Structures are given as C-alpha cells and as structure tokens.
Structure 1
Amino acid sequence: MKNGDVIWDLVDSKRSAFEALSDRVWAMPEIAYTEYESCAEHTSMLRAQGFNITECVAGIPTAVMGEAGEGGPVIAILGEYDALPGLSQEAGIAEPRPIPGTGHGHGCGHNMLGSAALLAATAVKDWLATTGARGRVRYYGCPAEEGGAAKAFMVRAGAFDDVDIAISWHPASFTQVDDAQSLANTRMDFEFTGRASHAAAAPHLGRSALDAVELMNVGVNYLREHVPADCRMHYAYLNAGGIAPNVVQAKTKIRYAIRATDLPGMFALNERVKKVAQGAAMMTETTVDISIMSAVSNLLGNTPLEIIMQSNMDRLGGVPFDDADREFAAKIQATLSQEDIETDYQRVGQPLADNAPLCDYVLPREQKGVPMIGSTDLGDVSWAVPTVQARVATHAIGSPGHSWQITAQGKMPAAHKGMVYAAKVMAGTALDVLRNEALLKDAKADHQARIAKAPYTCPIPPEVNPPLQPRPAE
C-alpha cells in the first residue's frame, strides 16, 4: 500500500462528519468578522477530534487554531468559513431563488474550504497518532478572507511564526495546483466633509462632499490610462450624503480597492489615488480623511511544494463525479452565457469541450492560460512561510465566482466529492513533507530565495486593527 493510500483512507473514514459540517456552515452564512456560529462549529469539531485548541487567534474572536502531535516540523492547513452579502440562494435549484433571512450566501464555497481543510488536518493528526511519527499539524480557522484580510492581521500578530509549511485549497471549476498569482490589494476609505446648506436658497454657502467624491472618481478614471495594465481600482459608496437633493451634502464616504501585482506597485498606486482624493477636496473646498481598512499581499509560489502537490493529484486522478453530478451541473450551465463558460476554459488554457459540465481530470502544472487575477489574504501567509494551494473542481465549469450559482451548488454531492478530494490532496502533501526532510529543506530554500530581494513588509499600517464586529444579539 502506498503512503498516499494510508492517509487517503483516513480521510475517507471521517468524510461524512465533515460533509455535514460543510452543510451546516453553508446554512449559517456569515460575512467578514461575524462568523461566530461558523467558528463555533469548527471549534466544536476540533474538540471532538481531540485537537488542542487556541481560540481568539491574533485577538480575532472568530479565528481558531487546533494543534496535534509532538516535535518535528509544524504543518499548517488553512481553512475559511466566511460568506458574501447578497448571494443567498436555495441549494440544488438551478434558478435564482434567495432564502429569506440575511441575504448572505456562500457564493465562493468557503463552507467547503474550511471543512475540507479541517478534514485534512484530522487525517494527518490520526496518522501521527497511529504511527508515533514526530511532527505537528495545525488547523487554522481563518475568518474574513472576503475583504477583511484576517490572515494578514494574523501574520502580523505572529500566528505563523513557528510554522514550517502552510497548505490550503479553494473550490474551483478545474482541478490543478494553484499557479500562485494574485494581486496585492488595499481597501482604503475616503471620507469627505463639507458644509450643508439649502441647495436652492443658499447654494453658495454649501461645500458639497458629494461633488468631491464624484470628482475623485472622475480623477481615478483618468488615472487608469496611466498605470500598468494589470492594476485595478474599483469602488463602492459607503455614504452618498443622504437622500435629500435640496440639501448640499456635507459628508460622503467611499471605499476603494486598489490592486497591483506586487507590494511596491500597490504602495505607489495607493499614493497616486490619495493625491486624486486630495485634489478633489481642494477643488470643492472640502476636507478628506483617508484610512486603510485592510490590505493583503500578492501570493508567492513554492516550486518543491507545488511539485509534490501535483504528484498527489496525479496519483488520485480527477474528482470522481457521476452522471447525476453532471446532470445538475448542466442545468447550472444552462443559466450561464457562452462567454462565462469560454472564459473558464481560457483561464486555464484548456480547449473548449462540449457536453462536459464538470472537470473530472487534473490539469498539468505547466499548462497556463489567460491570467484573470483576484486577491487573497493567503498571500501574506505565503510571504511568512512556504505555502502551496490546490484548486479543486466542485462546481459547473463557467460558474462565476461570487455568484448565486456557486451558492446553489454548495451542498450538492459534487461539492462533497470535490471537498473530500481536496482534503486528500492536502493531507497527502502534508504527509510527504513530514516524511521527507529533504523536501522540507528544499521548500524552505525556495521560499528564502523568493523573499531575499524584497523581504516581507506587512501592507497594513501598525495602527490599523481588524474591523471586528460584535456578536449578533440573539
């Protein structure tokens, strides 16, 4: 029996309990820093599986860590469980059908992400206990990946200082080792303050904060032509100044997401956007208060870990979907545009396939597609320790990220199969590191070489704290 078979059997032996955990978290969607119930579910599972538990990691009430084992290297397996606003959807229905309630939904699959990571950590814990091998495995339950940068705050607080290797995954349309491309990202708030007045009788006495924020947006739109093509700047109004058009708006607030391929590029772009805001304030005789809400770094790859993760995928083969899985995925695809589906294939450099609603194969590492890059707070962990991430098929090809279609598929048998597969990939990768000192050494050397030219600088200013949210009243 191969080493991988042993750990994969341990995953299978407990899969039902963790599929149920994923479904419970799906049914209690909580957005950034409000994941009290979801964190409690993960903490309860850690306790049931015999982990030593650390709660309130880095001072964040919805972050938890469980550890098992003794001595040896420390392997961290990272999970998430935050949802998204506005993506409520009934499970197993291939048409928009929101569920009454908060309006939140697991439109990025983090209910599966956390459950599979904890399943993988449990399998490694059981292997350590059975074999008596030296080594420690940790499960980190990480909140607020969607815009809250919790892992960046956790890295800054030292939560990963003694970790040797970090492993994670993400639900996807295709199964492959993640190519470690992401954008560094700052979420920055601009609050303009002017002077209210009667918009008809005394407009000359007013100083419009709404004019200021609109001029800022115009300025940033002109700036787009003069930044690198892979930079991104987008915004959302947090306060447009009220609903009365006959009052000159005295206060407005807007949040920008400012992205670049690396930290130096992002820091430089941040300053340019700030200058646009300051110029808008000067033009309108208002003032602007600028504050950073969160920020994350770009991802760093790790070739030795990526190679060993690929070998685990290749030995496992693809996710074992069946005809019923494909039938429902085809119904989801019927709600999508042809462009949605083609874009997914382009992203991974795969030719368009007809009548193939699910990916049941593994893409090779060397296969590259058209980069379509977002941001993740896993980037900060990857600067702190050698990190590798899997992407595993759990939903219909073409399903847009952050969509009701992802929520609808989050409790289906295909999702369960994908998350269990991901647990096997992560557990197998962890086991290979624990059993191979040379691999661990190579992974650390690769990481040191990547950070030698530009050591890590936390993108969040030291005075900025996590935007924690109170526990909801019962």
Structure 2
Amino acid sequence: MTSEGMTWIKANEKFLGEISDTIWGYAETGLKEYRSSAYLEDIFEKAGFTVRRGVAGMETAFVAEYGCGHPHIGLLAEYDALPGLSQAVSHEQKIYEKVPCAGHGCGHNALAAAVTGGGLAIAQDIQKGQVKGKVTVFGCPAEELLIGKGRMAEAGLFDECDVLLSCHPNDVNYVWARTSNAVWSGKFSFTGRTAHAAIDPYNGRSALDAVELMNVGANYLREHVTPDVRIHYVITNGGEVPNVVPKSAQVWYTIRAQNRESVQTLKARIQNLALGASIMTETTFETETVSDCSDVLRNKVLEQVLLESMKETGAPVWTEEEYRFAERISENVAEGLKRKAHSEYHLDGQVYRGLHTGIYDGFYREGETMAVSTDVGDASWRVPTGVFSFASTVIGSPGHSWLYTSCCGSSIARKGVSMAAQVLLRTAEKLYEDHKRIIMAAEEFKKEQTVREEMF
C-alpha cells in the first residue's frame, strides 16, 4: 500500500522542482541566505509546521517541527551557495559572463528541496495517522563555511531527536558508508607599521611580509605532514597600494585531517608559523576562528536502512533531453575525472551517456575517509546520523565548479530531488514502524564514539 507521504511526493514533483530552482536562482552565500531561508520557512508554516526563525544566533537558521513525541526524526537542510561561481548553464554563457557571482556549485539548492520534500511527506504520514512521532527539519546555513550545524549543535537543537538524516547532490547514487575529514578554519590578522615605500621603508614593518613568510612556512610544512592533511589559504587583505608599506594584512587558512585530534595538532603548528613570521617582521598578529568542524561519526545501522530505501526507490529515470544535456556538459569534464569516478564507484554497466542509472553500494568503500569536510560531522557526534548522495550532475563532474552549478539548475537535479525525498520518506517510515532500529542506531552511536575515543 502506498503511503500518504509517497502519494504526496508523486503529486508534488513539480513543486519540489520549483523549490530547487528558486533557491538555485537566489544563490546566496553563507549566513546571507535571507531569501532562501525565508522562502523555506514560509513553505513549512503554510504546511502546518511550527517554525522558529533565527535560531542559534544566526538570522538564516530555522527549525520547523511537526507532530509530537517519539520517534523524533530530524532532517538536515542546507541552502548556501559558493562565492565566485557562475550560474551559467552552458559553456558559452560561462565564457561571456564578465562578472563572477555566487553559484550553487555544490547543489545545496537541490539538497534543500529534497529535505523539504521529505519533511513535508513525513508530515502527511503523521497527519493521516499512518505513523506516530515527530519530524523536525533543521534549516542549516553556511555549510560551505562549516559553521551552521556546529552552532546549532552547541545550542542543543539536535539533542531531542532520536536520529538525524540528510542527503547531498552528487554524480553517483550511494550511501555514505565513510567518514569525512575534520577541519579548522581561521584568519590570521597581522599588524605592522606604515611607511613610505621609497623615502623611508626602513621605518615600516610590513604586515604583508608577515603573511607571505607565514605562507612560505606553510608550504614547506607540507613535506612534513601525513598524506591525509590538506592546507589551503587565501590572502584576504594584502594592503592597498604598493608604495605604502602595509600596516595591516590578513590570510585565511583552512586545514584538514582525518580526525579532530590531528587537526588540533596541525593547528598548533600553523600558529607557530604565524608566530615565527611575526617575530621575523616585528609585527603582531591575532587569530580568529571561523569554524572548527568534526569528522563525520558513522552509523552503520542508519546507513543500512538508507541503502534499503535507495534500492527500493531506484535511480532517477532520465529522459532523452536530459541525456543530451548531460552529454554536452560531459564534454567539459576531464577524461581523468570520468575514469576516476568509474574506478572508485565500480560503475561498469551503471552509466549511460554521462548519467548514473543505478544505486552504488557505498559499503564497498567502507572505512575510507572522504577528502571533503562537512559540518554534518558536528551533528553526527550529538545524535545518530545517516547521509546518502543522489545523482544530480554528470559523472566525474568536479564539485565547486560551474559544471556542477549548471546541472543543479537543470531537470537532472529536479529528478534527483524527487528520488532523494522518497528515500528520506521511506527511511523515516521504516524507523517509525520499527523502533528496534532506532535503539540499534543509538547503540551503534555509543559504540562508535567509544571506539574513536579509545583510538585518540
């Protein structure tokens, strides 16, 4: 028997696609998602959810609740875009676009639409009495800054949930049976003394010199860290004009490693680089933490339930028009990236004309660590959490690129949204109906925490 929630999704696929397209069009960066968050909040309020806006000290964060009691299932939504990415939907537009703008190069527009669809569908089941419990959709801003869920976790917003579920656009349909990298991100602001660069440069103390010396140190440090470590930076302030010795300069670092403990050790080494640079240049510096994000704590129980639901739902069924669009986009994807995707995800027989047509069993890569970081990690250490990816771009398409952005503004993403909403609904229904799985997920959560704590 088809549930009320599933009937609702099937009848509202166009509406869910409109949600994805609307947020894609807004393309707002982290903590500035004013229209995106208000749009979603209004949708939930009209559907009868109790909505709290501006939670955890963030104007664009919200909590939308429906039902009561337990099981209490939480869904994690994201809707921030990336700065400097094009919203062009073709290679030709990309070439002629002169002003860089924000773009959904990570597909959070589709993520938000899928989670919204899942939450609204679950509410239909609760309203009709097909399941008993509560669903909460968490509007989590600034994932790209790795800020939102950490602040929401600190505020205790997730703590009443029994489990948390989420999803993410990708080129492959698969369950996350892996963890992620932990990360620390922070800005180093140096202060020196200004001077005329020609008349008396000896009276100046260059803050920019300090930044550059710190960066040189970081680049030499790369030889002496483990292979999993990633160090990247941008100079956010390098002075105003070259004939004035810069009094102020700033560099923004992001450092990643496989776990939080390793990140903290690496952070101390980076701090020493800043200290050394300040001593060499006779400047001072201050450190501002932007984010301090945990690695994802896996939950095998929830992963298995998600995989079951993915197989029951099946991959999106693509149209001829979508295949043609995918082929045009695929022409711009490096062959090496395509081969890598085929190899890593064992995609033989599951790809046609650039699009994934199957469900990859993420447990084939169990125990690996994703190179990326996500603030889902901060939520996963508070409540048992499960995540999956859904196809919404072409095979091999690199994240944080205009290729990803283009696909996530197309019907390919809209098809993925419908599939992902169905997976979230099916997974929630299984958990509402079989409380033992929630108990097992809680036991697995404690077990995994203990193992990790003993390791580090």
TM-score by length of 2: 0.94
SS of the residue aligned with 2:105?
A: coil
Instruction: Specify the alignment match of 2:396 in structure 1.
Output: 398
Pair 1:342-2:339 in alignment: yes
**1:8-407 alignment to 2 at 5 Å?**
8-91=6-89, 96=94, 103-131=101-129, 133-242=131-240, 244-351=241-348, 356-368=353-365, 372-407=370-405
SS at match of 2:362: coil
Distance 2:45 2:101 in 1: 31
> In the superposition, relative to structure 1, how do residues 182 and 285 fare at CA in structure 2: closer, same or farther (>3 Å)?
same
- Kept in 2: contact 1:192–1:253 (CA 8 A): yes
Deviations 1:87-106 (A, max 9, x none): 12233667525768771111
Say which is worse superposed, 365-374 or 93-102, in terms of deviation. 93-102
Conserved? CA contact 2:51–2:62, under 8 Å: yes
Aligned position for 2:409? 411
Match for 1:34: what amino acid?
Answer: K
Shifted more, 348-357 versus 381-390: the winner is: 348-357
After superposition, the C-alpha distances for 1:412-451 in whole angstroms (9 at most, x for unaligned) are 2211111110011111111111111110000000001111
Task: Return the alpha-carbon distance in structure 2 between the equivalents of residues 249 and 346 of structure 1.
Answer: 49
For structure 1, which segment, 70-79 or 361-370, has the greater mean C-alpha deviation from structure 2 after superposition?
Answer: 361-370
**Superimposed CA distance per residue, residues 325-374 of structure 1 (whole angstroms, 9 cap, x where no aligned partner):** 11110100111221222233344344598853000100113322986511
* Structure 1 contact 107–406 (Cα < 8 Å) conserved: yes
Asked if the contact 1:33/1:148 (under 8 Å) is kept, the reply is no
Aligned twin of 1:465? none
Q: Is residue 89–residue 98 contact of structure 1 (8 Å, CA) maintained in 2? A: no
Residue in 2 that maps onto 1:471: none
- Name the CA distance, whole Å, in 2 between partners of 1:453 and 1:312: 28
Counterpart CA distance in 2 for 1:143 and 1:160 is: 15
Structure 2 counterpart SS, 1:367: helix
Distance across 1 between alignment mates of 2:66 and 2:123:
6
Q: Give the share of equivalent positions with the same residue, in percent.
A: 35
**C-alpha separation in 1, matches of 2:123 and 2:342:** 37
Residues 183 and 294, structure 2, Cα contact 8 Å, conserved in 1? yes
Q: Deviations over 1:118-152 (max 9, x none)?
A: 10011111001112532000111111001141110
Amino acid at match of 1:181: T
Deviations 1:39-63 (A, max 9, x none): 1110111012111111112121101
Q: Give the corresponding residue for 1:432.
A: 430
The answer to whether the 8 A contact 2:118-2:421 is kept is yes
* Structure 1: stretches of 5+ with no match in the other structure: 457-474
Does the CA contact (< 8 Å) of 1:32 and 1:148 recur in 2?
Answer: no
Task: Give the counterpart letter for 1:423 in structure 2.
Answer: A
Contact residue 90 and residue 329 of structure 2 kept, 8 A: no
- Report how many aligned residue pairs link the two structures: 453
Contact between 2:258 and 2:369, CA under 8 Å: does it hold in 1? no
Q: Distance in 2 between matches of 1:52 and 1:345?
A: 44
Tell me how far 1:194 sits from its aligned partner: 1.1
How many Å separate the matches in 2 of 1:413 and 1:390?
20
Counterpart contact for 2:181–2:369, Cα < 8 Å: no
| Residue aligning to 1:472 | none
Q: What is the rounded CA distance, in whole Å, between the counterparts of 1:303 and 1:175 in structure 2?
A: 17
Other structure's SS at 1:452 match: helix
Counterpart-to-counterpart distance in 2, 1:255 and 1:357: 37
Q: CA deviation at 1:195?
A: 1.1
| Contact 1:92/1:411, CA 8 A, preserved across alignment | no
- Partner SS state of residue 16, structure 1: helix
Evaluate the alpha carbon distance shift between residue 320 and residue 352 of structure 1 in structure 2; reply closer, same or farther with a 3 A threshold: closer
RMSD: 2.1
- What is the DSSP-based 3-state SS (H/G/I as helix, E as strand, rest coil) of the residue aligned with 2:324? helix
Structure with greater proportional helix content: 2
Deviation by residue 1:252-283 (Cα, 9 ceiling, x = unmatched): 10000011111111111101100111011111
Contact (CA 8 Å) 1:349, 1:368: kept in 2 or not? Answer: no
2:397 alignment partner, SS class: coil
For residues 438-453 of structure 1, the aligned pairs below 5 Å read: 438-453=436-451
More off after superposition, 418-427 vs 98-107? 98-107
Q: Aligned AA for 1:103?
A: C
Once the two structures are superposed, what CA deviation does each residue of 1:14-67 show, in whole Å capped at 9, x if it has no partner? 222221111111111100100000011101110121111111121211011111
Unaligned runs of at least 5 residues, structure 2:
none
Task: Tell me how far apart the structure 1 counterparts of residues 453 and 121 of structure 2 sit (CA, whole Å).
Answer: 34
Aligned to 1:445, the other structure's residue is in SS state helix
Compute the TM-score of the two structures, normalised by the length of structure 1. 0.91
Distance 1:71 1:132, change over 3 A: farther
Cα distance in 2 between the residues matched to 1:151 and 1:366: 26
